[in-house]
Amino acid sequence: MRRSDSPAVGQCGRPTGLLLPAFARTEFQAVQFLPAVVMPQLLLCGLFAPREAMAAPLRWASDVFPLTYAVEGMQQVVSGPGDSGTREAVLAAARHGFGTAGFSGTTIRGIARDAGVDPALVHRFFGSKEQLFAAAMELPVDLTAVVPALLAAGPVGLGERVARTFLTTWDATPGQGPLLALLRSAVSDRTAAASFRDFATRVVFGPPATAASPDRPELRACLAASQVFGLAVARYVVRLEPLASTPAETLARDVGPLLDHCLRRELGS
């Protein structure tokens, strides 16, 4: 729940800063109570760490702290509503960072420094590093949302769901979009390959492989990625027939068992 959606939460926050000092009998006791009131607010207001990255109970506690309102108000004044220039500066810094250091070697703090903004603003615009990568690469879908949805239905049929998701997304994107362009770049450029490899194995195929089997999930993620991206090259780049003209639903049913084997079945020793 966002605080802006609940006036009641905002009303609760007004007396919070005065609650403990109200029990003080003298000014000296009031000063003694101040750290107990101020320190939690400093730690949870989003000034030192993005509230989006906090555990749910900590976010709920920060919702009623007056200092949280002040910090968010200052951030909105600094960023301005709909500040497209700042957003584009972050995206440009992200593309440069991912392109030079790869996905694992790039940090939100480093991108913010290159863009000349506060890291909290990057989190506010894009959320996580994975979501920033998807925005910077202009991917047609938010894979950080798609992958959990694929896992929610359980391990049975996971391979077919993965194949169907990729094929239908690529088929519906004119020219197969930036994801295929990124794949082409990865074939010819080592830096692009490192960035693409990190994202594909850690974000896209890492979670399904880990959820499907505890046996060598890193290898399973690589095997699944090789099947999906090999299929993409054959279907969209080389355009092998009749593979290129076969309906996505048919291919998903045919390729699904291969992906299931990669993700769930017993691997050779």
pLDDT tens digit sequence for 200-243: 887 788 888 888 888 898 999 999 999 998 998 899 888 999 99
Q: Which CATH class is domain 143-263?
A: mainly alpha
**84-130 maps to which CATH number?**
1.10.10.60
Residue ranges of the chain assigned to CATH 1.10.357.10 = 143-263
Closest CA to 170 of 96, 85, 263, 239: 239
Strands (E), 11-146: none
Q: Tokens representing 211?
A: 């959820």
Residue ranges of the chain assigned to CATH 1.10.10.60 = 84-130
Q: Which long-range contacts (CB under 8 A, 24 or more apart) does 181-190 make?
A: 182/137, 183/229, 183/232, 183/233, 183/237, 184/237
What pTM, to 2 d.p., does this model score?
0.55
SS3 (DSSP) at 127: coil
What are the pLDDT digits (tens) for 87-126? 888 988 888 887 677 777 788 989 989 988 888 888 888 8
By the 8 A CB rule, do 253 and 160 touch?
Answer: yes
